[in-house]
Amino acid sequence: MSKQFNPYRAHSGRIHDYLLGGKDQYAVDREAGARIIHSAPEYQVAARAARAFLLRAVRHLAAARGVTQFVELGSGYPCPPNVHEVAQSRAPDARTLYIDNDPVVAAHGRALLADDRNGAGQTRFVHADVLDTTTIAREVEGFLDRGEPIAICLGFVLEFVEEPRAVVDELAGTLPAGSYVVISHVTGDPEPEIVKRAAEVYASYDIAFWPRSREEISRILTSCALVEPGLVAAHRWRPDDDLDQRRAERLGLMPLQSTNICCYAAVGRVL
C-alpha cells in the first residue's frame, strides 16, 4: 500500500480528501478525483457517507460506550470535524492518534494539531503505513493507555489493502479488552458498474483497489462481535437525524435515502 512520496503520483488518501471537499492535494490527485466524480458521481456520495458514518461511530463509542481513546488509520489531511473533535465533544479527556502513510499528510497534520487547544496533549499525528502493524502497536503503546479500551478506525482504507483480514486480526490482537474496530469498505454489491468505473480510474494511476462483497467484508471482522445494526450500508448505521441528508443536498448530491450507497460499514467489539 505504501509507496515512496512523489507529488506527481496520485495517492488514494489525497484523492479521498478531494472527494470529501478538502483543499490539500496535488494536481494529479485533483485530476484523478475529478475523473472519478465525472465517471462515477455516486462514488463521491459513498465516500462522504462513509465519513459521516465514521464520525457517528466515534460519537456513539464516546457517548454510549465510554471509549476515550481512538486511533484513525489512513486518516488523511485534517478536515473538520475531525475524529478528535467529535470524541472530545462527548468525552473532553479523549485522546486520538492519527496515522497516515503520506509523510506530507503527517507533517501537515502535526502542524495543525500544534495550533489546536489540545493538540500537544490529547492528539498526535504519526507517519506510518496501515500494513506496518509493529510501528502502529509501538505508537499506541507510547501514547495511549493499554489498560483502557481503544477504538481503531479504518474508514475508506481497507479497499486499498490486499489482505485486510490479516491486518485487522493483527491489530485487534494488540488491543485491550473492550476495544472496538470501526470500518467502512467500498462494495460493488448494489451498483457494480459504479465501482467498476472508479476502479478503472484508480488503475490508470497505478493504485491497487479491491472492492469487496458483503460476505467478503464480513470475513474481515471475524475477530469481532458486531455492534447493532451490524454490517450495513454506511448511511444506515445508526442515522441520528437528517443532518447528513441536509449536508448532501447542500453539496448538490442526490438524497441519501434514494441512493444505493456502494459502501458497507460496521463497528465490532474485539472478542
pLDDT above 70 (res 26): yes
**Cβ–Cβ under 8 Å, residues 260 and 177:** no
Share of the chain above pLDDT 70, in %: 88
State the CB neighbour count (10 A cutoff) for residue 141: 11
pLDDT above 50 (res 255): no
**Cβ–Cβ under 8 Å, residues 105 and 130:** no
HSE toward the beta carbon, residue 44, CA cutoff 13 A: 23
Mean pLDDT of the chain, nearest integer: 89
**Cβ–Cβ under 8 Å, residues 74 and 101:** yes
pLDDT digits (tens, 9 = 90+) for 147-198: 999 999 999 999 999 999 999 999 999 999 899 999 999 999 999 999 999 9
- pLDDT band of 249, cuts 50, 70, 90: low
E strand residue ranges, 61-205:
69-73, 95-100, 123-127, 151-155, 180-186
pLDDT above 50 (res 20): yes
- In the numeric block, which cell numbers belong to residue 207? 493504485
pLDDT of residue 8: 87
- pLDDT band of 85, cuts 50, 70, 90: very high
What secondary structure, in 3-state letters, does 189-212 show? CCCHHHHHHHHHHHHHCCCCCCCC
Average pLDDT over residues 88-112: 86
Q: What is the pTM of this model?
A: 0.90
